[in-house]
Amino acid sequence: MDVIAAQAARMSPEERAKLEAAANEQQMRDSLRMYNGLVERCFDGCVSTFRSKDLDTAESKCIASCTSKFLRHSQRIGQRFAEINFAEEQKAAQGRK
């Protein structure tokens, strides 16, 4: 059992609910920050003129490519973080034995 889980087990139900609400709020904030970063990066990199209210073909292709790259990159970072976290948990478990 890790430290956070041990601490959570000692909390009252109200404290756990507050902690969960705070974690959910932080996750929402992080998701919005990532989404806003994606929009800003792709818009700034792909939209150069405002001749019409619609994107032209080149801008549309650029936006599609940019978002695809951004999402693949974010997914890879998440996978790598999970790999590192798993390795650290394995080391900690080995140290406790």
Residue 59: which of 42, 73, 36 has the closest Cα?
42
- Whether pLDDT at 86 is above 50: yes
Share of the chain above pLDDT 90, in %: 58
Under the banding of pLDDT at 50, 70 and 90, the label for residue 1 is very low
Cα separation, 83 vs 70, whole angstroms = 20
C-beta of residue 17 within 8 angstroms of C-beta of residue 8: no
List of domains in the chain? 3-96 (1.10.287.810)
**pLDDT at residue 6, as a whole number:** 72
Tens of pLDDT, residues 32-68: 998 999 999 999 999 988 888 899 999 999 999 999 9
**pLDDT at residue 11, as a whole number:** 81
H/E segment holding residue 54: none
